[in-house]
Structure 1
């Protein structure tokens, strides 16, 4: 009997109005247990069911056909009716982040692996040796050497030669002090994969020509003190030739100055003689370019002095015609 009453109360609650639903559908003497839990009155709101009858029937508020009447229809809030959206109209600015993120390796990690016997310090330490010694598990673009734990190089008796993609200034200086060398090698992702896993590549790939951005980065590491090993493009070779020529010219100028100073009493006298020679050469050039035949300075400012310079019109010559009207 009690169960049937409870079922009736639930059925009445389902079909009751919102005003009647304020009281929970349970009797007051019912025990409060886990199988008799209910929400606070008004906590749950039943969804409207359109399209049954009444004012919201027939088209259910969707209108007469069209895009909005279809299932799954709707326009995203960023849609601007077909015109170019704001995200495309505004200009783009700012530096583009580099996707080539190098794997960072510290000197202390290499020293630890050498002490454990995983890396041979007598031979050049390559990126392949670092992967095999489990310093890192993955490497896609290259390795950058950092100077953390550089004091531990004194624990080793042999100087190190390390081949990496990039290195910091302090790391290069620390390895150089210990008698070693840092070599910068250029790898594309494919060439690096062949270097790390040579068994997967039966044929050796050709070394790649680095782009201008990579060349500039390698040149920066060379300025820090590293040795670079890469295929130099044509423009780099031309720049090096020009630098050598300029250095040779500078040396020749220094030698000529020394020879001149041997005959001169002081450096100042030699410089004064040079200046005089330059001035004479400039004066000779100016004289050669100017026509000094009809030139007088200062020019006279008297009235009527420029009659000769005024352009006159050519006189009009009329032809005589003789006509015989016989």
Structure 2
């Protein structure tokens, strides 16, 4: 009876000729194995069929994902009781274990290495905008190139969405500049200033605080104009560096800066004359060098009696 059941199951799964079916029903083990060997190789099955390559005929290979093992379902399952975590200890608890940076109690690597530099989380970084993007907006008719191009004009044209600390012009797409342009922004790189001036344009860098920039972009939200502020020392130094690049600069000059401008320029000239790196080593190179001799101090002798 068991042999007939096996034969019927096997026949349902595979297609056999009539002679092989008769040999199966004879009940001999030899005939059963022989009919398996005599199975033709060209029998079509569902695995050999080539289905059309469509979205409804796509699936993963069988066994591509291992089935998850149930834990804590009795000792007969192989993963019961302690569920493969062992007995007691930190790792056997839910949420247990140590952090990846823990090294067993020794000094971790982030304490062994020395500190280097500084990470400023509040660094004021202006929004960098390439000239290619601005020229694209001009060719699309979003910006009128005959008028000064301010931060508000760039915002209304969709060049940027947010710029908390202003806008800086950077130099990708300098070859696309084909007309004189006049900018009023927060900062600009040296090559951009040079390229715009060659086409007859100008760059004016205006210092504004984040609140003043917001008032400039959204004037309808500020019925009362904000008062202009005096920049701190680091901003004054930054604006003077922008002036040296060749751009016009506009900011409230503090009184201490007006008084010290001449002294700062003189000190700068002296430093440029004193130090030339790398120092030339050929004979006679130090002929014109400014030599500052130390003052001669009289010897003091203390007579202790």
Which category of TM-score, normalised to the shorter sequence, fits these structures? 0.5 to 0.7
* Cα distance change of structure 1 residues 67 and 142 upon mapping to structure 2, 3 Å threshold: same
1:196 is displaced (CA, Å) by: 0.8
Do 1:150 and 1:174's aligned partners in 2 also have CA atoms closer than 8 Å? no
Q: Secondary structure of 1:131's partner?
A: helix
1:174 is displaced (CA, Å) by: 4.2
Matched, 1:185 2:206: yes
In the alignment, the residues of structure 2 paired with residue 241 and residue 56 of structure 1 have an alpha-carbon distance, to the nearest angstrom, of 83
1:121 is displaced (CA, Å) by: 2.3
In the alignment, the residues of structure 2 paired with residue 178 and residue 201 of structure 1 have an alpha-carbon distance, to the nearest angstrom, of 36
Matched, 1:68 2:68: no
Do 1:140 and 1:189's aligned partners in 2 also have CA atoms closer than 8 Å? yes
**One of 119, 130, 134 as aligned partner of 1:109:** 134
In the alignment, the residues of structure 2 paired with residue 183 and residue 77 of structure 1 have an alpha-carbon distance, to the nearest angstrom, of 52
TM-score (norm. length: structure 2): 0.53
Supply the RMSD in Å over aligned alpha carbons: 4.7
Q: Which aligned pairs between 1:1-326 and structure 2 lie closer than 5 A?
A: 27=10, 29-30=12-13, 33=46, 39=62, 44=66, 47=69, 49=71, 52-53=74-75, 59=82, 62=85, 65=88, 67-81=90-104, 85-93=108-116, 96=119, 100-106=125-131, 109=134, 113=138, 116=141, 118-119=143-144, 121-122=146-147, 124-146=148-170, 148-149=174-175, 152-153=178-179, 160-177=181-198, 179-233=200-254, 236-243=257-264
Do 1:108 and 1:149's aligned partners in 2 also have CA atoms closer than 8 Å? no
In the alignment, the residues of structure 1 paired with residue 238 and residue 70 of structure 2 have an alpha-carbon distance, to the nearest angstrom, of 65
1:244 is displaced (CA, Å) by: 7.7
1:150 is displaced (CA, Å) by: 6.7
In the alignment, the residues of structure 1 paired with residue 228 and residue 153 of structure 2 have an alpha-carbon distance, to the nearest angstrom, of 20
In the alignment, the residues of structure 2 paired with residue 229 and residue 58 of structure 1 have an alpha-carbon distance, to the nearest angstrom, of 76
In the alignment, the residues of structure 1 paired with residue 170 and residue 85 of structure 2 have an alpha-carbon distance, to the nearest angstrom, of 65
- Deviation digits for residues 219-241 of structure 1, max 9, x if unmatched? 22201211111233565334314
In the alignment, the residues of structure 2 paired with residue 61 and residue 203 of structure 1 have an alpha-carbon distance, to the nearest angstrom, of 71
In the alignment, the residues of structure 2 paired with residue 45 and residue 205 of structure 1 have an alpha-carbon distance, to the nearest angstrom, of 66
* Cα distance change of structure 1 residues 86 and 151 upon mapping to structure 2, 3 Å threshold: closer
* Cα distance change of structure 1 residues 46 and 115 upon mapping to structure 2, 3 Å threshold: closer
In structure 1, runs of 5+ residues without a counterpart are 7-25, 247-284, 291-310, 314-326
- Deviation digits for residues 287-320 of structure 1, max 9, x if unmatched? xx89xxxxxxxxxxxxxxxxxxxx9x9xxxxxxx
* Cα distance change of structure 1 residues 44 and 145 upon mapping to structure 2, 3 Å threshold: closer
TM-score (norm. length: structure 1): 0.50
Give the number of aligned pairs. Answer: 221
> Which is greater in Rg?
1
